[in-house]
Structure 1
Amino acid sequence: MPPNPHLAQEPMLQGAPPEAANLTVYAVHGRGQSPAFMAELADRIGLPDIAYLLPAAHDSSWYPAGFMEPLDQNQPNLDHALEAVGHHLERLAGQGAPKESVVLLGFSQGACLLSEFLLRNQHQYAAVVLHTGGYLGPVEHGWPENGGLDGVPVLMASSAKDTWVPLPRIEATATALAKAGAAVELHTYDDAEHHINDDSVARIRKLLTSLMTKES
């Protein structure tokens, strides 16, 4: 297998130094974006005591085809992307930020990637934020229901009319996460714009603030 292109570039750091932060957010950008998009989101959230790790997709895309295409149409890029997420999280753990102190946050293609990763690798993260994303593949299907995500807060949000990510797949992802034990909260918006609106930012801020209060 060729080298993993998503590991060619080091993730960008934003906010507090990881070694000094009680909470680390692993924030994954969408298709056609870069870590700068998630850095801007961190600025909008406005909690400087949090450490953000912002990975970069090779050529600004984690996988080439749509997220609801057959999985083989996104290979080997999808496997590379999933491997990169696991690698970054393991490295964070080795640097003193175990999964229990890490929040997974993704937007659009990044949220799809994290949805897939989370359902395949069910661990006790501090929380998860999936904005405009769902698990991959052309059909809805079952996932392990062994309680691997028992109690993990999962905040999901999207436009109900998003062109790229159909609401039924987001709802199916919410159901799968709940069956795995996660505490899922799903919010939908009437506007059709593919973005993270101010209400979503406020909800993310509230979630992260509650986690920091719990840690202190």
Structure 2
Amino acid sequence: MIHNPNNIRTAGKPLEEANKVMVMVHGRGGSANDILSLSHYIQDKDFAFIAPEAQGNTWYPYSFLRPLQENEPYLSSALEVMASLRARLQSDFNFKMAQIYWLGFSQGACLMLEYAARNAVEYGGVFGLSGGLIGPTETPRNYEGSFEKTPIFLGCSDRDSHVPKERVLESEHVFQKMGANVTTKLYPNFPHTINEDELNIVNLLIAGEQQSVS
């Protein structure tokens, strides 16, 4: 095991008291505390926030567009951290799937989106900021399961230095086929970072205001 699934930080309400939980996944070179700082921008105060931290602050060594085996065994270990967290939230804290939300940035968004696609159910929401599904262009996307109208948001620059917009749009298409309500927004000439509009959309989707986003 490369990544330690017990290396986690929390914020917001205590897990025992919250009726919603958001798993926040940091990017390459980031930390659990970095991504948890975004919890201050989430307007709904019923959330617990939980963030795993990657060994060496990197979930896998190479670009998410490289052949999958090049990022092994790190990628499988990182996906196992996601699975372990979800299992603990269910078994130890009795969260139902629809009470679990996912948010990731950059490498963390790619990891979280790939995990969600491989484990599709009705989640509370899935928010991928500057990320997309993992693997090279010709990767078969034979995921099983349905998101059952889970709100999914994909936000990214239209010329991101790490994430081609084509991959964001491909991911949108895959998630739509899997029954998610997908909102995608590409920001012209925007740097590889998180912007205020993205956080506003996340808050609207949490509040169930799907229509006012599109």
TM-score (norm: length of structure 1): 0.91
1:67 corresponds to which residue? 64
Instruction: Tell me which moved more, 119-128 or 61-70.
Output: 119-128
Amino acid at match of 1:120: R
CA distance in 2, matches of 1:149, 1:117: 13
CA distance in 2, matches of 1:114, 1:8: 14
1:7 CA drift (Å): 1.6
**1:107-164 deviations in Å (ceiling 9; x for gaps):** 1001100121112121221111011111111114443465511211101101111010
- One of 91, 98, 101 as aligned partner of 1:100: 98
2:5·2:52 contact (CA, 8 Å) conserved in 1?
A: no
1:156 corresponds to which residue? 154
Aligned in 2, Cα 1:59/1:124: closer, same or farther, shift over 3 Å?
same
2:30 corresponds to which residue? 33
2:212 corresponds to which residue? none
CA distance in 1, matches of 2:145, 2:89: 24
| Superposition RMSD in Å | 1.6
CA distance in 1, matches of 2:177, 2:56: 35
Q: Which runs of 5+ in 2 are unaligned?
A: 210-214
Secondary structure of 2:132 counterpart: coil
Map 1:1-216 → 2, pairs under 5 A:
4-7=1-4, 9-94=6-91, 95-144=93-142, 148-210=146-208
Amino acid at match of 2:122: Q
Q: Which runs of 5+ in 1 are unaligned?
A: 212-216
Secondary structure of 1:105 counterpart: strand
1:5 CA drift (Å): 2.5
2:20·2:47 contact (CA, 8 Å) conserved in 1?
A: yes
* Identity among equivalent pairs (%): 33
**1:29-67 deviations in Å (ceiling 9; x for gaps):** 100000122111111234433110111011000000000
1:8 CA drift (Å): 5.7
Instruction: Tell me which moved more, 13-22 or 135-144.
Output: 135-144
Q: How many residues align?
A: 208
Aligned in 2, Cα 1:146/1:116: closer, same or farther, shift over 3 Å?
closer
Aligned in 2, Cα 1:145/1:87: closer, same or farther, shift over 3 Å?
closer
CA distance in 1, matches of 2:122, 2:42: 23
Structure whose residues are more often helix by fraction: 1
Secondary structure of 1:6 counterpart: coil
1:142·1:176 contact (CA, 8 Å) conserved in 2?
A: no
TM-score (norm: length of structure 2): 0.91
Secondary structure of 1:25 counterpart: strand
CA distance in 2, matches of 1:56, 1:145: 26
**1:162-188 deviations in Å (ceiling 9; x for gaps):** 010000001001100110111101011
CA distance in 1, matches of 2:5, 2:15: 21
Amino acid at match of 1:88: L
CA distance in 2, matches of 1:31, 1:88: 19
